[in-house]
A = this chain, B = another copy of it.
Amino acid sequence: MEFTVDATTQELMGKLNLFMDECVYPAEVELGLHKPGDFNRPPIMEVLKVEARKRGLWNLFMTHDSRGAGLTNLQYAHLAEITGRSPFLAPEALNCSAPDTGNMEVLAQFGRADQQEQWLTPLLEGKIRSAFVMTEPAVASSDANNIQMLIERDGDEFVINGRKWWSTGAMSPKCEILIVMGKTDPNGERHKQQSMVLVPMNTPGVELVRPLSVFGYDDGEHGGHAEINFDNVRVPASNLIGEVGSGFAIAQARLGAGRIHHCMRAIGMAERALELMCKRALTRTAFGKPLSDQGVIHDWIGRSRVQIEAVRLLTLKAAWLMDTVGNKEAHTEIQAIKVAAPEMALWVIDRAIQAHGGAGVSQVTPLAHLWASARTLRIVDGPDDVHISSLAKHELRKYK
């Protein structure tokens, strides 16, 4: 294991921190003005994107790929953490925000040249947004076998029918393309039944049913989460990504890097919350003394630091393993951070909320929104309990 922050990363971290201080944190005030249900991004967003690009902070996520900054997962991890300190602005400003990142990786890795030309290029330019359309309301999505959407071949076209939800990104007015997962062969081999196809948003039969909220938030920064109905939606057969039956494999490949991103951002969220908690404790006075001299706040702050340090190392190790031995060999670590990072972040943010009183639960601080985001991480990509159980089975196999 070798986690040293190298010179390249060090330099990028310096630049990114400067960008955060000069541009991102000051822009956060606009978030408070956000009207729920309006999925347009605040005007400052485009300004930030131009600025980030100018500063060489663009598409950093595209690891091991010259279309990005050519970073390793370990190098990018440190940068993702910093963007997590302002997760509703910074990742998008750097064109490093979900679900576009995962979608771009899918296109880069499995898309044909013409597909890349049409969709990857404008995504890399930050000109359009995209959505990933896999989860279904009627079945447990942690088990990919449950998927019911049908993608049927009809001549030169695929005909798509079914209902999806938690289609993150699809509520954005800038969303032009959907990556849709469904079954092309419902009776095939368990992990060969699924395929992925590209569906332009304006295709007839694609109906946005409603946006889903997350603890009252519309998650507009991710393009919202849509429930979508697909009613005889027709796309050319050439819209298939990869081969027929490769949907499950592509979905698995899409996950690894995303988990590192999510987890490092969760660490950044926790660091931000800890900073806010400390500042609050130093400046808020009750019963004649600052909070920092009273009660359990030392316990909250001290334990926050311990947990953050431990989880960061675990996440860096997962990134390093992905870089050196690949996603498959990093499986245990990737599952471990999926569980550990959100739990840690929730613990820290919850204490920071409590230290802030009413300011903590409202729009006055980013804490409540950070909490809601971290809470959903325990559910997306399969609930924690499925991952814990998988870790346990792996452990038990050692002694069988």
A-side interface residues toward B, CB under 8 Å? Answer: 1-4, 35-37, 135, 137, 139-143, 146, 165-166, 212-218, 225, 274-275, 278-279, 281-282, 284-287, 292, 295-307, 309-311, 313-314, 316-317, 332-333, 336, 339-340, 353-354, 357-364, 368-369, 371-372, 375-376, 378-380, 383-396, 398-400
Q: A218-B216, A354-B383 are in contact. Are A302 and B399 (CB under 8 A)?
A: no
Query: Bound complex: CA of A305 vs CA of B389, how far in Å?
Result: 11
Contact residue among B146, B215, B301, B353 (Cβ-Cβ distance under 8 Å from A392): B301
A278 CB → nearest B CB, Å = 5
CB of B332 within 8 A of CB of A305, answer yes
Q: A215-B215, A278-B398, A286-B140 are in contact. Are A389 and B3 (CB under 8 A)?
A: no
A324 CB → nearest B CB, Å = 10
CB of B4 within 8 A of CB of A302, answer no
Query: Bound complex: CA of A314 vs CA of B314, how far in Å?
Result: 9
A81 CB → nearest B CB, Å = 15
CB of B388 within 8 A of CB of A214, answer no
Residue ID in chain B nearest A35 by CB atoms: B37
Q: A3-B3, A281-B396 are in contact. Are A389 and B336 (CB under 8 A)?
A: no
30 contacts between A and B (CB under 8 A): A1-B4, A1-B313, A2-B3, A2-B4, A135-B358, A137-B364, A139-B285, A140-B284, A140-B357, A165-B358, A213-B368, A214-B216, A214-B362, A215-B372, A278-B399, A295-B296, A295-B299, A295-B389, A296-B385, A297-B392, A298-B388, A302-B339, A309-B336, A310-B314, A310-B336, A313-B313, A354-B378, A357-B379, A361-B376, A361-B379
CB of A395 within 8 A of CB of B302, answer yes
17 new A-B contacts at CB < 8 Å, known A2-B3, A141-B358: A1-B313, A3-B3, A35-B37, A142-B357, A215-B372, A275-B399, A278-B395, A282-B396, A292-B396, A300-B392, A305-B395, A306-B339, A309-B336, A357-B379, A357-B383, A361-B375, A361-B376
Chain B residues with Cβ below 8 Å from A362 are 212-214, 225
CB of A215 within 8 A of CB of B371, answer yes
Contact residue among B274, B304, B393 (Cβ-Cβ distance under 8 Å from A298): B393
Q: A306-B340, A384-B354 are in contact. Are A391 and B301 (CB under 8 A)?
A: yes
Contact residue among B142, B225, B278, B391 (Cβ-Cβ distance under 8 Å from A306): B391
User: Is chain A's binding surface mostly helix, strand, loop or mixed?
Assistant: helix
Contact residue among B1, B392, B394 (Cβ-Cβ distance under 8 Å from A3): B1
Query: Bound complex: CA of A299 vs CA of B287, how far in Å?
Result: 17
Query: Bound complex: CA of A385 vs CA of B213, how far in Å?
Result: 31
CB of B306 within 8 A of CB of A369, answer no
**Of residues A387, A389, A392, which shows the largest number of chain B Cβ atoms within 10 Å of its Cβ?**
A392
Query: Bound complex: CA of A364 vs CA of B310, how far in Å?
Result: 34
Chain B residues with Cβ below 8 Å from A140 are 284-286, 357
CB of A274 within 8 A of CB of B310, answer no
Q: A143-B287, A379-B358, A395-B305 are in contact. Are A368 and B215 (CB under 8 A)?
A: yes
CB of A387 within 8 A of CB of B3, answer no
Q: A142-B286, A354-B384 are in contact. Are A310 and B340 (CB under 8 A)?
A: yes
